[in-house]
Structure 1
């Protein structure tokens, strides 16, 4: 009699945190059997892909945001520790700024309404990591729930203001374009200066002076950057050349936007950019490569920019989503940035594992993946899928990289290929016949990875994960966070991950070693 379980190739199976039903209870948006997830799993998959206030191919912004709020409200009451951990990870690791702010405020709202104590203040403070975000939080809350602020919300925002407000952040973010200025935030939440920041009391006073355009120059001994900035425009009038002095620009806390505005048409743009570049942040450099080229910035200065862009430590600190580097590559007219952006993109994908054996990587290129990630982005979910799928395939010992839609086709992959060039080889492929793609390309691989929005078409041959023997793990990378997925998840070699960053990739080696994978913010087993 043949053994049923103790066979060559049998491997231990781990359990992933994203779990759901094993029998489908619904339908995908394209009519295939749809597998629901438990509440935490559904929220996580939605949170890591949700830009908030943005329509997707299958859900309107209102439907999507309503589902997000409802899920947050449920978990905020039943497991606030889990939600607080997710919010912190979502903001700091997944770099989902708006989704984390909304989750924190809606979580606090749910707990206040339920009469629950604790956690809300921490949720709010954890979500706010940039000096413009206390104002963002107030704008969101008051637009939905009015000007009455519950104490936990007020204290969480006040904690963040005391932690984030300083001279340079005031110059960068406290502008007339904002509905809630620093002064408004301070007045509404009654923030107190931090005990270890003796200069902050003067800063808060100056915030009110700025709000009312009183033109007061701060004490240079207490607030030297603001004091220099207050008179910088007058200096430019008498000596425009001061705009070409990098140290003067930095000492006055001048943003690149302000410097360009002050310069008007009086300065040579190449020389002005070259003066600004030393004090520009990583994101500002990344977004201005086209402007550097148009102005004619010298190759010597460009080399300094590329050194910063490709530095793995600076890439890590910048917390840029991988798609940002593809966007910069497409926008920059000059080839001199290409190698640095290639290195930066690969550095941003540091969690993509090197997998042994043979791997089938399927990348969804269907119509529903064409929708832009946000109204301000020129990238879409198909771009993200191409990045993740290609990066994984290039690190595998042996990989077959396939794009699919209504049909499917291999994507050429050669040793020494540029990741950015590989991404450009993908095409649009129509519908979402995931099952057919798996059936046509699975040839005894050691694992299958499907990067998709999971909205598969119905197939008489069954679901996509059913086309692979149970002994072969199937990993679904979900890029959209819709309610129903194309297969089960959690155990039995069927796993779902999600997100627009690479963090969850580190779960794959754990699961293949038969070790359970925890939520990313809970540490590694």
Structure 2
């Protein structure tokens, strides 16, 4: 009898987020599945805005769990953890979690070294863990205000004495990040650690390939100590800003109305916030139109309401829309996909709509066009609206439910044969128009009390080729009324009871809670996480019969 050599046999593939086989319960009482430490840390890291409460977990508890996991893996698996932290700050776009993680990574390794519990990794670090530690610090500092942020975190928690790896990692970042524009934007009196303070503490040397940087460092030190009488000649942007700042206040708005000051503002490194302070009054049409060319995409997307209220011209609006429609600029902005939904949601005018749709599409470039039939389940339960119940505040805050709707809608509109369902305790299928708009499709979603993944699967799965579930995984047990007569009561039903192993199930974890709703890592059951589209790249890889690894590890050719 043929048992194994059958046409239906597929190669076993593995994905990185892996369960251990140990059981627990979800926050809603169903059987939960525990993940190994790396998997738990990854899912938490990509969803943890430090200090913020989640529906089932206080912010402090989440931060403590994150710190414990980082400190554990810093000692046990430093190479993997450094890879995570660098990716988290880069492609993962999680700034604060990466910074906190790097600091705790270093502290854990220094503590282990002091206790004699650190095994040196020959070729990667010295006996005190300096190599990995310095790499971790430098890897997560990607913006010029972050060296000061790192010092603020470290000294507030561990005191003013800075270990050498912290100093050297920060010095590496300072050499890479400090320039004139950064000094103008971030070196302000509101900061506890000014650029001069950072330079004093870490003793960074100027980059030999940046002959102007020595002048910049000295000027930052002089202005910190109040003796920056004259700006060095090589610092042309700072000198231009000083000239513009010297204009009489009463003449500034007249100059703005009568001259094209956009090139001047660009040369002076003016941001829109700096311009508002320079005018010492409201930002009107002329002010916005002068500064818009120098604004980044994030600032543009967040100010659409202000542009409309000020009456920015259609010509300038078209220039903004052209930038939103540029895939290279969208990629460079590293904006989360849901930020484009937020911009659309809060913009008064329809003139931005098509460009925002294009920008959202560019930010979701990694969402695959899945062949065959796909069941897509999007969680709309109360826990996906953390802090807000069922009402979303009229602000830029976008709930997990809306973020899930962004991913689910994009996947549905690109899939060959999609079945798109919103679920909670009950569920409802949504209409997916061919060639439709992700932004308009998101507007169809509602809110549904309860969370019951198995029942939603049972109701809507009809031999689809795959299932994608976008959720926080905290499901209720799921009940099959047909089993009540056999068991004298209700029986819990798991996803694996309902879906054959030949059908892949992809769980998209949005919240990073500890319990998972199903086993994962192999046997057609895979869990991803994050607030960007990057993990979607794993789906075609797995369906092509290839193993998927962590996103910072390049697949073998």
The reply to whether TM is greater than 0.5 is: yes
* CA RMSD in angstroms, aligned pairs only: 1.8
- 2:132 alignment partner in structure 1: 119
Segment of structure 1 superposing worse, 13-22 or 294-303: 13-22
Question: Contact 1:12 / 1:513 at 8 angstroms: preserved in 2?
Answer: no
- 2:431 alignment partner in structure 1: 412
- 2:503 alignment partner in structure 1: 472
Q: What is the rounded CA distance, in whole Å, between the counterparts of 1:187 and 1:102 in structure 2?
A: 22
Q: What is the rounded CA distance, in whole Å, between the counterparts of 1:471 and 1:367 in structure 2?
A: 32
Note closer, same or farther for the CA distance 1:76–1:328 as it changes in structure 2 (3 Å cut).
same
State the 1:21 CA deviation: 2.3
Note closer, same or farther for the CA distance 1:236–1:82 as it changes in structure 2 (3 Å cut).
farther
- 1:524 alignment partner in structure 2: 555
Note closer, same or farther for the CA distance 1:422–1:6 as it changes in structure 2 (3 Å cut).
farther
Q: What is the rounded CA distance, in whole Å, between the counterparts of 2:459 and 2:208 in structure 1?
A: 65
- 2:18 alignment partner in structure 1: 19
Q: Does 1:54 align with 2:73?
A: no
Q: Does 1:341 align with 2:352?
A: no
How many positions carry a matched residue from both structures? 521
Q: What is the rounded CA distance, in whole Å, between the counterparts of 1:5 and 1:501 in structure 2?
A: 39
Segment of structure 1 superposing worse, 170-179 or 233-242: 233-242
- 2:368 alignment partner in structure 1: 353
- 2:297 alignment partner in structure 1: 282
Q: What is the rounded CA distance, in whole Å, between the counterparts of 1:169 and 1:67 in structure 2?
A: 34
1:403 is paired with a residue whose SS is strand
Match among 284, 287, 292 for residue 269 of structure 1 = 284
Segment of structure 1 superposing worse, 196-205 or 147-156: 196-205
Q: What is the rounded CA distance, in whole Å, between the counterparts of 1:466 and 1:388 in structure 2?
A: 26
- 2:221 alignment partner in structure 1: 208
State the 1:136 CA deviation: 0.9
- 1:110 alignment partner in structure 2: 108
- 1:366 alignment partner in structure 2: 381
Question: Contact 1:26 / 1:36 at 8 angstroms: preserved in 2?
Answer: yes
State the 1:406 CA deviation: 0.9
State the 1:10 CA deviation: 3.6
Q: What is the rounded CA distance, in whole Å, between the counterparts of 1:395 and 1:445 in structure 2?
A: 16
Cα deviations by residue, 1:255-278 (Å, 9 ceiling, x for unpaired):
11111111133x871011111011
Cα deviations by residue, 1:309-352 (Å, 9 ceiling, x for unpaired):
11000001111000110111111100000100000001000111
State the 1:504 CA deviation: 0.6
- 2:525 alignment partner in structure 1: 494
Q: What is the rounded CA distance, in whole Å, between the counterparts of 1:353 and 1:362 in structure 2?
A: 16
2:188 is paired with a residue whose SS is coil
Q: What is the rounded CA distance, in whole Å, between the counterparts of 1:45 and 1:473 in structure 2?
A: 20
Q: What is the rounded CA distance, in whole Å, between the counterparts of 1:501 and 1:123 in structure 2?
A: 22
Give the alignment's TM-score, normalised by structure 1.
0.96
Match among 260, 267, 283 for residue 276 of structure 2 = 260
Q: What is the rounded CA distance, in whole Å, between the counterparts of 1:111 and 1:268 in structure 2?
A: 50
Note closer, same or farther for the CA distance 1:465–1:338 as it changes in structure 2 (3 Å cut).
farther
- 2:188 alignment partner in structure 1: 175
- 1:144 alignment partner in structure 2: 157
Structure 1 gap segments, 5+ residues each: none
- 1:63 alignment partner in structure 2: 61
Q: What is the rounded CA distance, in whole Å, between the counterparts of 1:406 and 1:5 in structure 2?
A: 40
2:552 is paired with a residue whose SS is helix
1:52 is paired with a residue whose SS is coil
Q: What is the rounded CA distance, in whole Å, between the counterparts of 2:369 and 2:230 in structure 1?
A: 57
Note closer, same or farther for the CA distance 1:461–1:4 as it changes in structure 2 (3 Å cut).
farther
Q: Summarize the alignment of residues 422-437 of structure 1 with structure 2, pairs less than 5 Å apart.
A: 422-437=441-456
- 2:484 alignment partner in structure 1: none
1:501 is paired with a residue whose SS is coil
Segment of structure 1 superposing worse, 512-521 or 4-13: 4-13
Q: What is the rounded CA distance, in whole Å, between the counterparts of 2:427 and 2:470 in structure 1?
A: 14
Structure 2 gap segments, 5+ residues each: 114-127, 479-490
1:231 is paired with a residue whose SS is helix
Note closer, same or farther for the CA distance 1:289–1:522 as it changes in structure 2 (3 Å cut).
same
Match among 182, 199, 207 for residue 186 of structure 1 = 199
1:11 is paired with a residue whose SS is coil
